[in-house]
Amino acid sequence: MDKFGYTISKGRQINYESNDRWVADYIYEREPSFRLCIECGGCSATCTTGNLTKFSLRELQILIKRGENDQVRLNIKKCMLCGKCTLVCPRGVNTRNIVILAQQAFQKSNDYAI
Amino acid sequence: MSGDVIVIGGGTAGMETSGQLANAGCMVTLVEKEEQTGGHINNWYHLFPDRRNGSEVIDYLNNKINSDNITLLKGITIDHIEKHKNRFIVKTNQGKELNADAIIIATGFDLFRSERKEEYGYGIYDNVITSVDLEMKFRSGSLKMNNGESPKRIGIVHCVGSRDEKTGNLYCSKLCCVTAVKQAIEIKEYLPDSRVFCFYMDMRMGGALYEELYMESQEKYGVNFIRGKVSEVGESINHSLIIKVEDTLVGRPLKMELDMLVLMAGMEMSEGGRKIAEMSSLKTGENRFFQGRDNHFGSNLSNIDGVFYAGTCTAPMNITETISHARSAVSEVLDYLKVFRK
């Protein structure tokens, strides 16, 4: 039998006020083309990882910008850094570098936590 | 009003300006590089948003330039332009010299050459065609694939050579979204049992009756819209096309097999316009189109007194806008001639 009882479910909304967008700021500073995404999904369509696992570079970028960092932290590691996404981007976003910088940002924050 | 004006380009803008100037009493020399006037409309079957026949516009324009004040030179290009004391001397490729008090540049646009977007397979796969190829098929009355069969699933790719830094064109060509919707409707009229999918980044329906046409395409024709930029096109073993795109609103990559793919080619500064910019000191903007003197009240004025712009040599425009722009160019020319004649 299923567990029975009350739980407190976490709200679904993006809490823009309480979310900390520090990873986004970290990337904006080092890779200004991060601002240019128009969410066309070209990167995700061509992505080998994204066709096999739940990985969408387009989605990860917007999550970073909204400060939904927990979802990004786990998924960003799946990228194999092949750079195909960078080749198709119509806005010239250096998507590959964004992944590298995001990984770097998370690594640094872990260091700080220790 | 009198004055000699040379109009370079015999498309919509050039024909409209020539007719208006002739009506105002100017002597006009209209120079067209092709053997026929009318420009791109010659390649178009039906026009958006009301799907009138393109030939009606051609008839209107032909009627417009039917004037004793207009000398039409066909199959001629311009080799040299110079200005001497408020008179222009223009040399043609056939060595002829033309003189005028003012020049209107109406060199229009070229369609983006879709083979440059190699990953979409134009010129590689038989059933990848452009919006113009589709118009030709409509005009011939037969919408068939290369093997003679009717396509059952047709994809339409927006923004081919527009809004794409990889092709060097950052601007929106403005007309392709509504062209896609118009063509989707027409495909459904030809082949009611087919399924049509538009792949778009943003639906830019900012024109009179565009949004209504978009809604009609959904409501009456069941056209499907998928938000995502197609990243690549391949071919399966049975020669159907396979496209890869992210369905961004679902958030998952999508693979689809299609019988035919139509590329909405964007608009670029024409080759003829580019040559004129090179031989003169006329300024072009960052999108390579001619740069007007002021974005708000000087889009017909060039950086040289006496040289004016009309139509899509300055930016992507639809026919309605081109005709308005042509008429405003005429008003600028007449003002100029008035001052200059005093």
Task: Supply the DSSP string of A16-48, one letter for each residue.
Answer: TTT---HHHHHHHHH-GGGGG-----HHHHH-H
Q: CA triplet B134, B138, B141: central angle to 5 degrees? A: 140
Q: Is A95 on the interface with B (CB under 8 A)?
A: no
pLDDT at B128 over 50: yes
Q: Residue B127 and residue B176: Cα distance in Å, rounded?
A: 20
Nearest to A46 by CA among A75, A87, A79: A87
Q: Determine the pLDDT at residue B265.
A: 98
Per-residue CA distances from B163 to A28, A40, A91, B176, B229 (Å): 22, 11, 8, 11, 11
Q: Residue B138 and residue B152: Cα distance in Å, rounded?
A: 16
Compare A3 and A112 and report the one with higher pLDDT: A3
Is B286 strand, coil or helix?
coil
Query: Which of B163, B232, B252 is closest, CB to CB, to A90?
Result: B163
Q: Determine the pLDDT at residue A1.
A: 60
Residues of B in contact with A63 (CB under 8 A): none
Domains B4-108+270-341 and B114-265 share a fold: yes
Residues of B in contact with A82 (CB under 8 A): none
Q: Determine the pLDDT at residue A11.
A: 80
Most distant CA pair in chain A, distance: 53
CB A59, CB A40: distance < 8 Å: no
Q: How many CB atoms lie within 10 A of CB B154?
A: 27
Q: Residue B113 and residue B86: Cα distance in Å, rounded?
A: 39
Q: Tens digit of pLDDT for each residue in B45-59? A: 999 999 999 999 999
| Cross-strand bridge partners of residue B92 | B78
CB B277, CB B302: distance < 8 Å: no
Q: Is A61 on the interface with B (CB under 8 A)?
A: no
Q: Determine the pLDDT at residue A9.
A: 79
Q: Determine the pLDDT at residue B32.
A: 98
Q: CA triplet B151, B157, B158: central angle to 5 degrees? A: 145
Residue with tokens 């990984």: A103
Q: Tens digit of pLDDT for each residue in B245-269? A: 999 999 999 999 999 999 999 999 9
Across the range A27-56, mean pLDDT stands at 95
Question: A1-15, A31-45, B118-132, B233-247 — which is least confidently predicted?
Answer: A1-15
* Paired tokens of B320: 């309605």
Q: Residue A88 and residue B231: Cα distance in Å, rounded?
A: 7
Q: Tens digit of pLDDT for each residue in A36-47? A: 999 999 999 999
CB B88, CB B100: distance < 8 Å: yes
Q: Is B212 on the interface with A (CB under 8 A)?
A: no
Question: A5-14, B212-221, B333-342 — which is least confidently predicted?
Answer: A5-14
Expressed in angstroms, the distance from the first to the final Cα of chain A is 41
Residues of A in contact with B253 (CB under 8 A): 44-45, 47, 50-51, 56
The answer for B 251-270 residues in CB contact with A (under 8 A) is 251-254
Average pLDDT of the residues of chain A: 90
Residue spans of the domains in chain B: they are: 4-108+270-341, 114-265
Question: A5-19, A67-81, A84-98 — which is least confidently predicted?
Answer: A5-19
Q: Residue B181 and residue A25: Cα distance in Å, rounded?
A: 40
The full set of domains in chain A, from first to last, is 22-113 (1.10.1060.10)
Give the count of alpha carbons within 13 A of B261, CB side only.
30
Nearest to A69 by CA among A37, A34, A22, A31: A22
Nearest to B56 by CA among B73, B38, B74, B72: B38
CB B192, CB B172: distance < 8 Å: no
* Paired tokens of B7: 């109009």
Q: Tens digit of pLDDT for each residue in B264-273? A: 999 999 999 9
Residue with tokens 């899509």: B312
* Paired tokens of B1: 């009003």
Q: Determine the pLDDT at residue B341.
A: 62
The verdict on a CB contact (< 8 Å) between A56 and B251 is yes
- Tell me which CATH homologous superfamily contains domain B114-265: FAD/NAD(P)-binding domain (3.50.50.60)
Across the range B268-293, mean pLDDT stands at 97
Asked if CATH classification 1.10.3210.10 holds for the domain at B4-108+270-341, the reply, yes or no, is: no
DSSP state of B125: B
Question: A59-68, A105-114, B276-285 — which is least confidently predicted?
Answer: A105-114
**What percent of chain B stands above pLDDT 90?**
97
| Those residues with Cβ within 8 angstroms of residue B147's Cβ, 6 or more apart along the chain or in another chain | B239
The verdict on a CB contact (< 8 Å) between B253 and A42 is no
Q: Determine the pLDDT at residue A5.
A: 77
Q: Is A38 on the interface with B (CB under 8 A)?
A: yes
